[in-house]
Chain A
Amino acid sequence: MKIKALTAIAAVLLSAPAFVAADEDAELIVNGEIEMVTKTAAAPHLEGALDEVLSGWLFRADETQSLQADDFDNPGMIFVDQGMDDWGTVDGSEGKSCASCHGDVEDSMAGIRAEYPKWNDTAGEVRTMAQMINECRVDRMGAEAHGYTSAKMARMEALISVQSRGMPVNVAIDGPAADMWAQGKEMFYSRTGQLELSCASCHEENYGNRIRSDHLSQGHINGFPVYRLKNAKLTTPHGRFKGCVRDTRAQTYSPGSDDFVALELYVASRGNGLSVEGVSVRN
């Protein structure tokens, strides 16, 4: 009996998660023109972990999916408009706006979101998009830094992300970024808190399964910043990480910390090959 029970459970644990989407062939085409890759072969650095990477969009209900297919239905696009206003607004002691140096956001920011977080030679460290936005604000505009996960930061990230929609995520993990990537990978598999759960416990071992009413995804961040229906505003990657770690009954890391930058680099790289979707719509 004991042996039989153990064998049965072992079989369940060893079998790959059987992913059944509501509609496995669902395709995401935004505004009838931006074709999104929501399912593709996993990058070589995911060998042994995932064969195929699946956008979180595939795990959502039909109604949620359709909200993202048209910018008039996507509630997150309101914040992109606000970000556009900010882009042209002079702020700080130097009398500059984003546009003063970067001109038309559609030209200057195309492709940026797809490559971040990214090694920055001048700074000598891996930088997130949020850190680059604040560097511009403080050092070049003489303005105050935005709070790392604040509404103003989220909508600027949203504006910049939208310029890369449909482009494949292509985050570099080698060269000078390799150490931080390894740190992020270790964090992804670290089981934290009194519940002893890692990112992988849910998003690698159990994607496709339901936990309560939620359908567990692979946890990619290609759709960030994301408009979450549950709190009716944009959520940034570090804001989401913080919530997930907190829910393991752990002491969280701080948004903007080296720890979360490392985790963002690693998690972003797991989504290499998926399309940039931000701003996406999720639960």
Chain B
Amino acid sequence: MRLTTITLAATLTVAGVATAGTVAPGDVAFDEYGAVEMSLSGAAGDAVNGEKIMVTKSKGNCVACHAVSKLSYAPFHGEVGPQLDWAGDTWSQAELRGILANAKKTFEGSVMPAFYKVDGFVRPGKGYTGKAADGPLDPLLSAQDIEDVIAFLMTLKEE
């Protein structure tokens, strides 16, 4: 899996696509619609790992709010957000990247958490302890995690 990612990244570099390394959460460039063109990690995403992140409670836990037919093996999909069965048809990679990084830039007032944001919170806590944060926060997902989820979402198309 790691090999695949590295190979892909190498291919992209050769092809001349920008791979300036990881973009820090504060440096993400959203366009006027909330989309983000550039890969957050500088590398391509791994759809297989992205699928795991979607269903893992301690990672993306995406199915807590979104139903995805392809992930029906994972129990208890939610109904808070839209169903994602055709996410790859509905949104571009850049749009998905913007929505995952900070959905409020695309959908004003969205209840969806921002997965790549580390400041500007009200009463930030130390994880789920209920105590105050005692240092800088990590984003909910890493840059590569987000790229992996995008890669998986792009495979969700009507055929």
Instruction: Report Cα–Cα, A192/B65, bound state, in Å.
Output: 18
Q: Give the residues in chain B near A251, CB-CB below 8 Å.
A: 123-126, 130-133
Which of B80, B95, B107, B124 makes the CB contact (< 8 A) with A209? Answer: B80
Instruction: Report Cα–Cα, A190/B121, bound state, in Å.
Output: 11
Q: Across the interface, do A197 and B123 meet the contact criterion of CB distance under 8 Å?
A: no
Q: Across the interface, do B80 and A211 meet the contact criterion of CB distance under 8 Å?
A: yes
Q: Across the interface, do A250 and B79 meet the contact criterion of CB distance under 8 Å?
A: no
With A12-B82, A245-B130, A246-B129 already in contact, the answer to whether A5 and B95 are too (CB < 8 A) is yes
Q: Give the residues in chain A near B82, CB-CB below 8 Å.
A: 9, 12
Instruction: Report Cα–Cα, A78/B130, bound state, in Å.
Output: 30
Q: Is A194 an interface residue (CB 8 A)?
A: yes
Chain B interfacial residues counted at CB < 8 A: 38
Q: Across the interface, do A210 and B122 meet the contact criterion of CB distance under 8 Å?
A: no
Q: Is A206 an interface residue (CB 8 A)?
A: yes
Which of A201, A202, A211, A242 makes the CB contact (< 8 A) with B130? Answer: A242
Q: Across the interface, do A249 and B78 meet the contact criterion of CB distance under 8 Å?
A: no
Q: Is B110 an interface residue (CB 8 A)?
A: yes
Q: Is A191 an interface residue (CB 8 A)?
A: yes
Instruction: Report Cα–Cα, A6/B107, bound state, in Å.
Output: 8
Q: Is B26 an interface residue (CB 8 A)?
A: no
Query: B63-96, CB under 8 A of A: which get 1 and which 0?
Result: 1110000000001111110100000001110010
Closest approach, in angstroms, between the C-beta of B21 and any C-beta of chain A?
A: 25
Instruction: Report Cα–Cα, A212/B77, bound state, in Å.
Output: 5
Q: Is A176 an interface residue (CB 8 A)?
A: no
Q: Give the residues in chain B near A2, CB-CB below 8 Å.
A: 33, 35, 92, 95
Q: Across the interface, do A193 and B124 meet the contact criterion of CB distance under 8 Å?
A: yes
Q: Give the residues in chain A near B124, CB-CB below 8 Å.
A: 193-194, 249-251
With A1-B92, A211-B64, A213-B75 already in contact, the answer to whether A9 and B107 are too (CB < 8 A) is yes
Q: Across the interface, do A197 and B111 meet the contact criterion of CB distance under 8 Å?
A: yes
Residues of B contacting A: mostly: loop
Closest approach, in angstroms, between the C-beta of B51 and any C-beta of chain A?
A: 18
Q: Across the interface, do A246 and B125 meet the contact criterion of CB distance under 8 Å?
A: yes
Instruction: Report Cα–Cα, A201/B104, bound state, in Å.
Output: 13
Q: Across the interface, do A210 and B78 meet the contact criterion of CB distance under 8 Å?
A: yes
Q: Across the interface, do A246 and B107 meet the contact criterion of CB distance under 8 Å?
A: no
Q: Is B20 an interface residue (CB 8 A)?
A: no
Query: A224-265, CB under 8 A of B: which get 1 and which 0?
Result: 000000000000000000100111111110000000000000
Closest approach, in angstroms, between the C-beta of B127 and any C-beta of chain A?
A: 6
Q: Give the residues in chain B near A9, CB-CB below 8 Å.
A: 82, 107
Chain A interfacial residues counted at CB < 8 A: 36
Which of B78, B91, B121, B130 makes the CB contact (< 8 A) with A196? Answer: B121
Q: Give the residues in chain B near A216, CB-CB below 8 Å.
A: 80
Q: Give the residues in chain B near A245, CB-CB below 8 Å.
A: 123, 130
Q: Is A195 an interface residue (CB 8 A)?
A: yes
With A191-B122, A194-B140 already in contact, the answer to whether A213 and B114 are too (CB < 8 A) is no
Instruction: Report Cα–Cα, A245/B129, bound state, in Å.
Output: 10
Minimum CB distance partner of A215 in chain B: B79
Instruction: Report Cα–Cα, A80/B126, bound state, in Å.
Output: 36
Instruction: Report Cα–Cα, A8/B87, bound state, in Å.
Output: 13
Q: Across the interface, do A196 and B79 meet the contact criterion of CB distance under 8 Å?
A: no
Minimum CB distance partner of B137 in chain A: A194
Q: Give the residues in chain B near A213, CB-CB below 8 Å.
A: 75-76
Residues of B in contact with A (beta carbons under 8 Å apart): 33, 35, 63-65, 75-80, 82, 90-92, 95, 106-107, 109-111, 113-114, 121-133, 137, 140
**What are the nearest 7 A-B pairs in CB distance?**
A246-B130, A213-B76, A251-B132, A209-B79, A252-B130, A201-B111, A195-B113
Task: Please list 25 pairs of residues, one from A and one from B, whose beta carbons are closer than 8 Å in the complex, sorted by A's number.
Answer: A2-B95, A8-B90, A12-B82, A13-B107, A191-B122, A192-B121, A193-B121, A193-B122, A194-B113, A194-B121, A194-B125, A196-B121, A202-B111, A209-B80, A210-B79, A211-B78, A211-B80, A245-B130, A246-B125, A246-B130, A247-B128, A250-B122, A250-B125, A251-B126, A252-B125
